[in-house]
């Protein structure tokens, strides 16, 4: 308990977070007491997770009010874990709950940013699925980039055998306006896919990227480009991308000098805070407290 209290008291950052999936289950049940929502503990990979989202999370979202509530719960869950800096992606597809009004979605996110500005440094990111129509991505993405609300862009979805060249232009537009750029790659896909994503999109940071550990060349490219890997250990285990924390390649990446952070990914799905993960990694002998503190600072420094 002393270790947990010490870890909880540390100011933290969560920089790999899907906003409407980021709330704690207990807070969800406070607002939806009639909903039977139980996380399964593990999923049958990425497809299994998506099936759970469609069946259990999307069923909660009947209106824009529900989406706003899920996002609000996400911020409060972060605050409860003493997260001081939050970078969370807002899926562009959520506009369908706002009568397909992108402006209404942007306004809702901006209002949440204003509501909690004294409690947390919240920096919303534009969340884009790799399966999205490119014309719509560019049209909506530009509107979000030009708004005063979003500070970054995050591309996610299926990793293997994906042609990312269609997203190159929107990444260039984001960089031109000093927005942070991120891409999900290398959780289920191989090290070469990480290289391809870096060379195609030139991201500032990679979400997951754990398969870089399989290739010294990929590690060197990450080091040369000074790219940070935003890793979600409990998520990786729950999705069976790795068999256990003990087998997680983040230790090798850390030892090779790669800058890593520890994040929640989807708190609602994996029922795990950053404090939970810090504690487990220390107790299982993966990292010392001093190393975890360094990793914590990797995420929160400069803010």
- Whole-angstrom CA distances from 98 to 101, 102, 106 are 5, 7, 10
Give the total number of structural domains in the chain. Answer: 1
Collect all residues with Cβ–Cβ distance below 8 Å to 243 and sequence separation of at least 6. 237
The dihedral region occupied by 295, where left means phi > 0, alpha psi between -120 and 50, and beta the remainder, is: alpha
E strand spans, 40-164? 83-91, 121-129, 152-156
pLDDT digits (tens, 9 = 90+) for 71-110: 999 999 999 999 999 999 999 999 999 999 999 999 999 9
pLDDT digits (tens, 9 = 90+) for 177-202: 999 999 999 999 999 999 999 999 99
DSSP state of 53: I
Q: Give the integer Cα–Cα distance in Å for 170 and 179.
A: 11
Q: Give the integer Cα–Cα distance in Å for 125 and 93.
A: 13
Which one of the listed residues 187, 247, 279, 294 is annotated catalytic? 187
Q: Note the pLDDT of residue 109.
A: 98
Nearest CA to 303 out of 87, 10, 78, 30 is that of 87
Range of the domain at 129: 2-300
Task: Give the domain CATH number at 193.
Answer: 3.20.20.140
pTM of the model: 0.96
Q: Residue 213 in contact with residue 17, Cβ under 8 Å?
A: no
Q: Is 159 a catalytic residue?
A: no
Low-confidence residues in the chain, pLDDT < 50: none
């Amino acid at each position: 308990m002393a270790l947990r209290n010490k870890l909880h008291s540390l100011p933290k950052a969560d920089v790999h977070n899907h906003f409407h999936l980021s709330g704690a289950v207990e807070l969800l049940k406070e607002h939806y007491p009639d909903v039977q929502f139980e996380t399964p503990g593990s999923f049958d990979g990425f497809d299994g997770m998506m099936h759970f989202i469609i069946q259990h999370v999307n069923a909660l979202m009947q209106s824009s009010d529900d989406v706003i509530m899920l996002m609000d719960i996400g911020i409060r869950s972060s605050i409860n874990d003493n997260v001081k800096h939050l970078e969370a992606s807002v899926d562009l597809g959520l506009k369908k709950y706002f009568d397909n009004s992108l402006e209404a979605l942007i306004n809702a996110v901006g209002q949440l940013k204003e509501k909690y500005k004294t409690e947390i440094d919240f920096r919303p990111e534009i969340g884009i699925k790799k399966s999205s129509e490119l014309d719509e991505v560019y049209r909506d993405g530009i509107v979000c980039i030009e708004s005063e609300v979003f500070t970054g862009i995050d591309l996610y979805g299926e990793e293997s055998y994906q042609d990312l060249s269609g997203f190159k232009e929107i990444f260039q537009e984001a960089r031109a306006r000093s927005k942070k750029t991120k891409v999900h790659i290398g959780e289920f896909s191989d090290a070469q896919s990480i290289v391809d994503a870096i060379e195609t999109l030139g991201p500032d940071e990679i979400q997951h990227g754990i398969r870089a550990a399989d290739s010294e060349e990929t590690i060197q490219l990450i080091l040369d480009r000074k790219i940070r890997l935003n890793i979600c250990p409990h998520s990786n285990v729950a999705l069976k991308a790795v068999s256990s924390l003990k087998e997680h390649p983040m230790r090798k990446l850390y030892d090779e000098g790669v800058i890593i952070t520890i994040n929640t990914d989807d708190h609602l799905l994996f029922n795990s805070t950053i404090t939970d993960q810090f504690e487990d990694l220390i107790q299982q002998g993966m990292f010392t407290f001093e190393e975890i503190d360094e990793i914590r600072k990797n995420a929160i420094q400069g803010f």
